[in-house]
Each structure stands twice: as C-alpha cells, then as structure tokens.
Homo-oligomer: A and B are copies of this chain.
Amino acid sequence: MAVSQPVKRGRPSTAKLSEQNIAEAALDIIDERGWSALTMNALATRLNVRAPSLYHHIEGQHDLINLVRALIVSEIETESLASLDWEEATRVFGMSYYRAFLAHPNAIQILSVTPIDDRATFQMYEAFLSALDRAGWAAERALEVLVGLEYLALGSAYEANASEMMLNAQRAEDNGAPVLAKFLRARSDSDSLVEEVFVHLLDDFIRMFKSERDRAASS
C-alpha cells in the first residue's frame, strides 16, 4: 500500500520566534521538569532553534521570568473586577489567582523571589487594587489584603499539587499525636479538600475585612 510521505517541517526561522512562543515553551519546561531545568539550551531545543537566536528576544534570565509570569497572570480574571464591589472582586480575583497557580506550581518558587517587572502583572494588581481604592480602602490595609490573599492562594496551590495528603491520621496516631489524628478523621475526605479549605479561608478573609470596615463605618 502506498503511503504518502509526511511533509517534513523544517526548523522554524528565527523570525518565527516571538515573546509569546518563548514564554509558552519556557512554561512547558517548568511545568514538566521544574524551574531548574529551564536553561537557554533546553529552551532552544524545545523551540527547535539555536540558543543565540533567543538572545534577539530576551536578554537573560530575568527577562524570561517576566515573560513566564505574564503568561500565567494572563489566566487571572481582571476585566470583570471594575464592575464588582470590593467583596465580590476579592472573591473573583482570589479564586482565579489560585486556579492560575494551581496549574503551574513549579513556577511559584522562582516567581515569589523575583521582583515584578512586566506590564501584565502590574495591570493585574492595578485592576484588583482599584476595586479596593474605589471602596475607600487605606493603602496599608489594601496592600495587606492583597498580600494575605496571595499567600493563602499560593500555599493552597502548592499543597493541592502534593502527591498525597500532607497529614495522615494513622501516621499521626503512630507518632503520638491523638488530637491531630482525631481532627483529621473528623473531616470529610473529599478529593477537593484543599480547594474547599481555600474557599473557606477566602470567605473568612473577606468576612474579616468586611467586619473591620463595618466597625469603622459605625464608629
């Protein structure tokens, strides 16, 4: 039986490289093998180009981190925030922030220690903080809401990616921790437990700041 030959695709020319496909390839490598696997050579191999071509588009590691951050951040909901009150904006932003990093846990560590320097991320923060600003939040507290929300979301995204439950009731029992074992056994053991805890903490967080504002308004 005659089979037509598959068309051989040549290497894409350097002109085909864009910040977008460099960012996508970099994030694929991080997702699959972790941040430490993301070398310029690995990236060039993945993009099927020679490493020096990459330097026409990115100056170095810091540039690359910013591209990856912008790509992840593009998954975070920002457009709808302008039409929401601060409580709803916090919920929508917090949930989509969690989901974006849930999909890319290997990127969290390097992004958490690299100063922010890309427009997409600044715009993401601006959209959320504008919702707090419109509601009259003071600077210190607005930034604390933001930071606290990020830590809860990133911690949850991390834990959701652990291969098994971090705490096991039987192991707690075996290691002389009966109260912990009792608490672990009492909770429902659904698959989405981490997400459930995050949703509760997000609710708590919003309620906490709401009651603070209510007190301030009534005094």
Contacts and interface: CB of A to CB of B under 8 A. Distances in A.
A144 B211 contact: no
Given A115-B164, A122-B171, 5 more contacts: A114-B166, A116-B168, A122-B176, A122-B177, A144-B201
A179 to B, nearest CB: 5
A208 B204 contact: yes
Interface stretch (A5-13, A85-93, A126-134): A126-134
B204 A116 contact: no
The A interface, classified by DSSP as helix, strand, loop or mixed, is helix
B116 A176 contact: no
Contact of A197 (B116, B144, B152, B201): B144
A205 to B, nearest CB: 8
Interface stretch (A20-28, A38-46, A154-162): A154-162
A143 interface: yes
Most buried by B among A112, A186, A207: A112
